[in-house]
Chain A
């Protein structure tokens, strides 16, 4: 492909770019076509709504009328108990949010650095390139739970003076280590998708290697990787729940404590709902961003 340049996107094909002087009145044919289109759209919506009610309502009915429904709802949906423990779970969720904010900031900075090191060609950086590749390979290949256990229990076991034993800090570090590896790869792949001719054009204008990256390559790369990065953010929010294994009282741990006290699993459901309240909107937002970015790429694709 001869890169980046293409025909104007769909959005302005509707508007007439030129004014031909006269006032345009739709023809009989066009009016009929529009009416037909409207009828078809209305019919489609009615069918969609009706079939949704039948299917979803049917499934709900089957669930509620089934013999196990009573004990199921007592165990998982004891709302009165759920509301009672809710403040503790919300308090715990504050830890997940804090951890997400701190971790995502660190991951963004470290991930970008590692992606830049891996895509650089400078001979001076050769050893760092090897180390960065090794790092990414290792931490993308280990279950995050293992990294959390290794860091959270392993580091205190060293009994090194001055090193923290705070499980929250250690848990955060473990999350950062793992996600930096993921994010570095995403950013690196974004950088690699920018056609070399863009860099050549920047360099031939006299921009230095660093300036070409800063003003030409990275801005385009970031646009392309925004959707996958948002996906990783959703995953990160969920995965902060894993640090509960170290004894950090996050939402998961708070739910676990509440549930083990009563042998009722509603607190877990409450915790799940709280996570969903954050992750679902973010997922929708990610979808929309992805759709936009695909549209943009189609609009500016092949020339």
Chain B
């Protein structure tokens, strides 16, 4: 429940800001000059704020859409990300946001139209192949839909901009907005999974695997393409059994024609973020795992990563065609150490 909303002066004139305020009629409003006044200062404790984040309404200026590294993606020629929202409703212990952001407050950039203009401009550039836009880098794309109206606002735009392809990355099971609309072939809703036992330990607030599977079923039935993201791969007791069980649960229930893509992602966090995450949770078993500094990142030791990834890849290929499997390649060990 949000009961304090900070807002940049002037932003309340924006109709989307008014809509958000209407959803929280009893919230206290606190003005600020710029969202960074509240969000950026050092000396904040992300983990404490996570107990009760406030909402900051702001307008995004400057660069709105950014390219993502060429090794990430799901087959598109050009891949971009944008962030209409910073931070997430859920609280996953492995989440890099807690290492990247000084604050756990939600920052909502209300000027969706500017993101859309930029996406339109990029899709109109002379180009080969598809352009993908990823909306879930700094947040969960769906979890806060009731507050943000993000998907509801982007669907009409995407229906008129078929060359732009959007990935909604989520762990939410609240897919009502998609169920209420006509499916669009250029919007893929990608659900991230870890085995249930891991989720219970590390993913606070995230709906169960079963409820997410039911959500997938509902939107697949409506014709929406869906993706599965096995990301991050986490080393654990009974690793093989747990991941095999997860795959056994996921794939038989997914209609082939709805499955757009499956991707495998390893656990890797920039070292500076990892240092902050460890400091926030010094007694977290995950951070005491078989990790190593590799290049500028912290990840599982190379042999563990290779072995676990190979196992999952092999198991996935028993269940899905190779053309649908993508792996976020990392070449951490090739990076020079600072």
Q: Do A and B bind each other?
A: no
